[in-house]
Amino acid sequence: MAHNCSIPVIAEGVYPLDARGIAKRFRHAAIFGALDALKAGETMRFCNDHDPLPLLTQIDAHFGSRIKTAYVSRMPGEIVIDFLVTG
């Protein structure tokens, strides 16, 4: 069972996505779908149990400079990354 990220979402336009609760075979599709749904200026706060380096490479290849990535937390078992849509 997935738990909430310990990093709270306190800003408007920041939407949480806890990948730990999504079946592994659907995770990348769900993440890409969520990123596609965001508008410029909005952020997806992504939480995962491991550092998703291959996923970050795929996001960069697909979205390019449209998505800015920033780590919020890199605690073992809880990686939190903000994906900001720039335009």
**pLDDT greater than 50 at residue 84:** yes
Residue 63 lies inside a defined structural domain of this protein: yes
Beta bridge partners of 84: 43, 68
Name which of 4-8, 52-56, 60-64, 83-87 the model is least confident about: 4-8
Residue 1 lies inside a defined structural domain of this protein: no
Predicted confidence band at 1 (pLDDT cuts at 50, 70, 90)? very low
Domain of residue 37, residue span: 14-85
CATH number of the CATH domain containing 69:
3.30.110.40
**pLDDT greater than 50 at residue 79:** yes
Residue 6 lies inside a defined structural domain of this protein: no
Residue 28 lies inside a defined structural domain of this protein: yes
Residue 46 lies inside a defined structural domain of this protein: yes
pLDDT in tens, 25-76: 999 999 999 999 999 999 999 999 999 999 999 999 999 999 999 999 999 8
Residue 26 lies inside a defined structural domain of this protein: yes
Per the structure, how many domains does the chain have?
Answer: 1
Residue 7 lies inside a defined structural domain of this protein: no
